[in-house]
A = this chain, B = another copy of it.
Amino acid sequence: MTYFPNTPADQQEMLRVIGVRSVEELFATVPEAIRLRRPLKLPSAMSELELTQYMSQQSARNRPAGQTACFLGAGSYDHFIPAAVDFLASRSEFYTAYTPYQPEASQGSLQAFFEYQTLITQLTGMEVSNASLYDGASAVAEAVLMAMAATGRQGRVVTAANVHPECRQTLATYLANLPTEILSLPTPAGTIRAEDLTGVLNEQTACVVFQHPNFFGCLEEADKLVKVAHTAGALAVVVFDPISLGLLQRPGDYGADIAVAEGQCLGIPMSFGGPYLGLLACRESLVRRMPGRLVGQTTDRQGRRCWVLTLQTREQHIRREKATSNICTNQGLMALRASIYLALMGPAGLREAANLCLQKTRYALDLITRTGRWQTPFARPVFKEFVIRRPGVDVDRLVSTAAQQGLFVGVPLGRWYPDLADSLLVAVTEKRTQAEIDHWADVLASP
């Protein structure tokens, strides 16, 4: 085994020092009765060459987005990732370090996470960001738990049908054993009506969770929804798209209490769904309710500025069952990627990326609806995603045929919305060229 540095001679010497005759003896405390008496049934060992051949073969049996113009979104997006992100994030010293428990030997990561926290507050207009959560969906659940703790309200959580179905499912799973009712507003017009929202809020409502731009790609009247929530004494939890903030008002600007997001679009490959990055930022007053790690600034004995993990009394390893969350290993490297991405993009890059998404999305939407074969069920402004419908079409077959022609045309919505079984959710990022969009429209509009 090429990963074991000890030779048989080393092992003999080590056994001698320990005072046993065989490695077997070291397992004496494992009762005979529960020993495994056979080798594990696993594929036999592969050399690196064989493994490389095997994995390359399996990889060739997939069709990656690089070979296929990808119009899929719904929480995972084919945005461009500068080469410097991959390069820097693969630095050994970041990549193979543990959580920075020894600050003196971990200033690299600690400073990077402090910068991450700052970048996220700059991005969102919020006052505090933690150092990452698992992904967007679990971040929504954590935000809701946090809101419940902060408000002392356990009775109800209000969300809407146009929040990502997988976020709502995750939330439901997290709350399954709590007495909390999750109320999901229908959104037949694509967006939440403020009146509908007012109607379902009561004094047991901990928070309102809405997504903006929402799952259908439409913009919500975010500022209004926040006000409605606040009027009922509930917190406003907004699920945002980081790229959209190149153009749109930030959650902090319109008064959100907690802002969460899937951070995949910030320089993280799609990777079939993970690892991604849960963003969570909030008002300063909520900081001690926050889940996850926080890095804080301090000084060393010579008075030099430096960074440490802080407010750890919120965390499980100190507070155990009273912790704000159970999270331990988070998504450090993904937070690093997001930081590098944001540092490279800067305000101008982010704005341009957002604008390209917006322009191309509108171009695509206009193009496809102009064909007359597809219409959009929701007449609302969109950002980088939209829903189109073609009554009677077999969406799944369409999607498969198009894939063979080198196009991922959109995500069928039927699996989550039976009444949208003839609809596709389409995303257009800055990577899509006009030629690809035109081709996409041709394929979709063909009879």
Contact = CB atoms under 8 A, between A and B. Distances in A.
B49 A83 contact: no
Interface string A7-47: 00000000000000000000000000000000000000000
Nearest to A60: B67
Contacts of A82: 48
Interface residues of A, number: 16
A56 B66 contact: yes
A431 interface: yes
A436 to B, nearest CB: 10
Interface in A408-447: 430-431, 433
A83 B48 contact: yes
A80 interface: yes
Given A56-B66, A66-B56, A431 B80 contact: no
Contacts of A92: 91
Contacts of A2: 344
A83 B47 CA distance: 12
A66 B59 CA distance: 13
A379 to B, nearest CB: 32
A146 to B, nearest CB: 37
Contacts of A431: 49
Contacts of A52: 80, 83
A317 to B, nearest CB: 32
Contacts of A56: 66
A80 B48 contact: yes
A80 B49 contact: yes
A56 B82 CA distance: 14
Contacts of A83: 48, 52
Nearest to A92: B91
Contacts of A66: 56
A284 B83 CA distance: 46
Contacts of A433: 53
Nearest to A56: B66
B80 A430 contact: no
Nearest to A356: B49
A165 B53 CA distance: 33
B49 A430 contact: yes
Interface in A116-163: none
A341 to B, nearest CB: 12
A80 B430 CA distance: 38
Contacts of A48: 80, 82-83
Given A2-B344, A48-B80, A48-B82, 9 more contacts: A48-B83, A49-B80, A49-B430, A49-B431, A52-B80, A52-B83, A53-B433, A56-B66, A91-B92
12 contacts: A2-B344, A48-B80, A48-B82, A48-B83, A49-B80, A49-B430, A49-B431, A52-B80, A52-B83, A53-B433, A56-B66, A91-B92
Shortest 10 CB-CB contacts between residues of A and residues of B = A49-B80, A48-B82, A49-B431, A56-B66, A48-B83, A49-B430, A48-B80, A52-B80, A91-B92, A2-B344
